[in-house]
Chains A and B, each alone.
Chain A
């Protein structure tokens, strides 16, 4: 694997770290199996791409993408909380609706951002080579997200959200409005995922309506790989695990696809993903079995 390929994998892993943190919030903190992300990731990409082409500042475009993602999350939350639709099904409904919404937003299946100014543009030409600048820049954003989410989850408000997912009955007895927490949590989760989508569009130079397919699997893979590697040792470690898991997942994929001996090609990506996730899931069991 070339150095450029390695840094490319790291960069993509860092972009998807936002997805991993969002998935962590929904699946682990709120215990809400949320597939909305397959729609909110390309939604973030679509919104940011369309706005940048319309001449909007790329930072503001990414901010609007987050708002759009939050709105998508709130729709899923409303279907579940207000209309009592099973959480998984509620998220699937939002997800398929978003496919059409994303086409409407872009007006076509694919929008290119070639030569447009992005969040990264000011940092090119400062002397560092481009394939270093990109992961470095995204890494800083990921660091900020990790710190903000960590401090939130260890605040009074964050404890209320964690209790909602872990023991809703107890949370209500402590005065926590668990319905509000689900709205809030789903909004934050999908805003992060949409921001990941916005970054994806800005770093890859396009937004595509199909780019959301499998987002949830990638996010879950990152969360699970992180948990397998670092174990359950508190919120900060779990968040670092999400980031690490996301990067390692991309490197592993890159390795598998670029190792000629294995004879794999790009179209084998989904199969490799399934094998990787399965491996991450059974690894803790194998370890325990070995110790016993």
Chain B
């Protein structure tokens, strides 16, 4: 379960560039629920994800993941609770390490790391099996450096890495945005499969309204650091991409009017 209460995030406080990135966001995501988050640039999607991941510490509010209050915990300290796939395929894995070394690193996420060999025969076999499930032929390249893989292959491996160690939540940060359409679809299908098989509590930030409505159980729209739409169940099923676009337009129009007032 994820629960954020009255989260405030201000960037550049006290400077002329001060920006209220999140303004009193309340959101509870139940155990096993898959929530998609949309919003225009600067709406606060990435900041919200950062607050959950620990990259951004809020100036006010409370963040709970599972049963743990993680409000003041940094990224590394809460990594045992949070699995994550980044937007940039280069960020989520280590190009200089081999595929299996990346997996070994991820298998110990949030745990103490000892002096035992990272790649024993048992672990190697386990990793091989997990990678073979991708059907990308990577199981024969386990010793290859990660930076020899394509972006899509790296995202697929990153998804496997996210599930090697247990976690309370899975955070997906526009993880198909940098991929070509074919690979994006492959990675989305894989995401769907992994999330439903493992019943992971998931939050996916996306730019694609199609994705936001097609996947998951609930959709949240952010604007100006606030939640402006939160739909689930039947009302979400009836919602079309066109409806979302219309809402986007309306919200944007409003802000334009506001600006016009200010300038006038």
Tell me the A residues contacting B by CB distance below 8 Å: 151-152, 154-160, 162-163, 166-167, 169-178
Query: Is A174 within 8 A of B105, CB to CB?
Result: yes
A186 to chain B, nearest CB (A): 18
Within 8 Å by CB of B105, from A151, A152, A159, A169, lies: A159
- With both beta carbons as reference points, the residue of chain B lying nearest to A157 in the complex is identified as B113
- Interfacial chain A residues near B216, Cβ < 8 Å: none
Provide the bound-state CA to CA distance between A177 and B109, in Å: 11
| 0/1 interface trace, chain B 82-95, chain A, CB 8 Å (1 if under) | 10101000111111
Query: Is A176 within 8 A of B76, CB to CB?
Result: yes
Query: Is B119 within 8 A of A174, CB to CB?
Result: no
Query: Is B109 within 8 A of A175, CB to CB?
Result: yes
| B96 lies within 8 A of chain A by Cβ | yes
**Interface size class, chain B:** 20 to 34
Contacts A169-B91, A173-B84, A174-B108 given; 8 further ones with Cβ under 8 A? A156-B108, A157-B113, A163-B94, A167-B90, A173-B82, A175-B79, A176-B76, A178-B76
Query: Is A166 within 8 A of B108, CB to CB?
Result: no
How many pairs, one residue from A and one from B, have CB atoms within 8 Å of each other in the complex? 91
- Interfacial chain A residues near B260, Cβ < 8 Å: none
A81 to chain B, nearest CB (A): 13
Provide the bound-state CA to CA distance between A55 and B86, in Å: 58
Provide the bound-state CA to CA distance between A173 and B86, in Å: 10
Within 8 Å by CB of B80, from A151, A152, A175, A177, lies: A175
- With both beta carbons as reference points, the residue of chain B lying nearest to A175 in the complex is identified as B79
- Interfacial chain A residues near B116, Cβ < 8 Å: 155-156
Provide the bound-state CA to CA distance between A169 and B90, in Å: 10
Query: Is B95 within 8 A of A166, CB to CB?
Result: yes
Known contacts A169-B91, A175-B111: does B101 contact A159 (CB below 8 Å)? yes
- Interfacial chain A residues near B63, Cβ < 8 Å: none
Query: Is A163 within 8 A of B105, CB to CB?
Result: yes
Query: Is B113 within 8 A of A162, CB to CB?
Result: no
- Interfacial chain B residues near A177, Cβ < 8 Å: 76-77
Query: Is A174 within 8 A of B96, CB to CB?
Result: no
Q: Which 9 A-B pairs have the closest CB atoms?
A: A175-B79, A156-B113, A166-B96, A175-B110, A172-B75, A157-B113, A172-B76, A155-B115, A167-B94
